[in-house]
Amino acid sequence: MKLLEVPYREFHGIFLPVIGIEIGYKNNFVPTSALADTGATNSIFSAGVAEILGIDLKEAPSTYIHGVGGGMIVANFHPVEIRVAGLSIPARVSFSEELGIPFNILGHEGFLEYFKVCFDTARKKFTFEVE
Amino acid sequence: MANSSIECPYHKEFHKQDAVQVIRELPFQPEKHPEYQSFGIELGLYLCKEEGGGYFLLGAIGSFQSGFVVAYSPIPPGLAMVIKIPSPAGAGDTDWQEQQLRELERRLRDAWKVYDRQLWLTEHWQEIEQKYPGKYIAVVAREIVAVGNSMKQAYQIASQNYPIQSILVEYVPASREEVQIAG
């Protein structure tokens, strides 16, 4: 069943699959957007999103996450709920002050694993389906 | 209604006439976009029978006109919610029906707002890049309501003026180099 078809967004001439979602904690939901990244094992969000949600990252377990080139950043994992296209997904995501890129990332664990995603980069759109 | 189809679970097309019972139907009316109603958008709850027995309620939004679902359509195509029920009797409770329909409507409306705002941003992103490079923008519905040097600042300014609205804060990359990622 096709849930959603989303056009790529053009950033300075580069088209990327960015999707709008809502992320929530304790019934407080905020909209945000994130890059659907098949190369990411986990989802990671800017620490600013956690701040708006009222999540205290000092209380969340921290970990190191590998980036491109072997660099590592510190991130804190926290359970949240992600809403997209009317579906609610309980997920454990990470937040980091050191994201270093201008996007939140939606990776496999806790997000992409629930969907069949088709990236049609030739047509600058991507679709989400569920079984 | 030969073209009245939406996709449903189990990889089949759902036709309204295939439903055991049409529980409720409503026109879906996204705020501020009455023009979309001309496309025949409907929101409905349908009692359906599974092949192996058993029943489910399909809550769906769809356009019942052929050819509407296109790549850049502002309507999430085929958006649907499934409620499994033990028997059709469960669908006979009108209070329960109403509750399910309202919940479906709320979810769809929320999903619609998120989707609509993202489409608007995507459509206007080049203009936004030129106006606010390196800034954080706060967006309510289809309007940029605050600009800041940090996510927190943009959110705080916006929330003072729109305390009960859903506020999206986005960073606007200043250059192509910022978005060149290998990962």
Chain-chain contact of A11 with B77 (C-beta, under 8 angstroms): no
State the average pLDDT over residues A16-29.
92
Q: Looking at this predicted complex, what is its ipTM?
A: 0.90
Select the more confidently predicted residue: B91 or A23: A23
Tokens representing B95? 């209070």
Q: Tokens 């097309």 correspond to what residue?
A: B13
Half-sphere exposure of A40 (CA within 13 A, CB side): 23
Tens digits of per-residue pLDDT, A77-120?
Answer: 999 989 887 677 888 999 999 888 889 999 999 899 888 899 99
- Short-list A62, A27, A102, CA closest to B128: A102
Chain-chain contact of B151 with A67 (C-beta, under 8 angstroms): no
pTM of this prediction? 0.73
Tokens representing A37? 């990244």
Q: Tokens 């649907």 correspond to what residue?
A: B80
How would you write the pLDDT of chain B (183 residues) with one tens digit per residue?
A: 223 333 333 334 456 666 777 766 665 555 544 444 433 445 566 676 766 666 666 665 554 432 222 111 223 334 445 555 555 555 556 676 667 667 666 766 677 778 888 889 999 999 999 999 999 999 998 899 999 999 999 999 999 999 878 899 999 999 999 988 775
Computed over every residue of chain A, the mean pLDDT equals: 88
Query: What is the per-residue DSSP string for B92-129?
Result: G-HHHHHHHHHHHHHHHHHHHHHHHHHHHHHHHHHHHH
Q: Please list, in sequence order, all residues whose beta carbon lies within 8 angstroms of the beta carbon of residue B69, skipping any fewer than 6 positions away.
A: A5, B63, B75, B77, B78
pLDDT computed for residue A35 by the predictor? 95
A interface test, pick of B167, B169, B175, B180 with most A CB neighbours within 10 Å: B169
pLDDT computed for residue A99 by the predictor? 84
Chain B partners within 8 Å of A126 (Cβ): none
Rounded-to-integer distance, Cα B16 and Cα A93, Å: 39
Rounded-to-integer distance, Cα A102 and Cα A86, Å: 26
Chain-chain contact of A85 with B118 (C-beta, under 8 angstroms): no
Q: What's phi and psi for A28, nearest 5 deg?
A: -105, 110
- Between chain A and chain B, how many beta carbons pairs sit less than 8 Å apart? 130
Tokens representing B177? 């180099």
State the average pLDDT over residues A25-46.
92
CB-based contact A31:A22 (threshold 8 Å)? yes
State the average pLDDT over residues A38-67.
90
Residue of chain A whose Cα is closest to the Cα of B118: A20
Residues in A whose CB is inside 8 Å of some CB of B read 1-14, 16, 18-22, 29-33, 37, 39-40, 46, 48-49, 51-52, 67-68, 83-87, 101-103, 123, 125
pLDDT computed for residue B133 by the predictor? 97
Chain-chain contact of A2 with B108 (C-beta, under 8 angstroms): no
Rounded-to-integer distance, Cα A91 and Cα A57, Å: 16
State the average pLDDT over residues A15-38.
92
pLDDT computed for residue A1 by the predictor? 55
| Gyration radius (Cα) of chain B, Å | 21
Half-sphere exposure of B149 (CA within 13 A, CB side): 0
Rounded-to-integer distance, Cα A70 and Cα A33, Å: 26
A24: left (phi over 0), alpha (psi -120 to 50) or beta: beta
Strand ordering across the sheet containing A2-7: A2-7, A125-129, A116-120
- Restricting to B residues 103-162, those with a Cβ less than 8 Å away from any Cβ of A are 104, 107-108, 110-111, 113-115, 117-119, 121-122, 125-126, 129, 150-152, 155
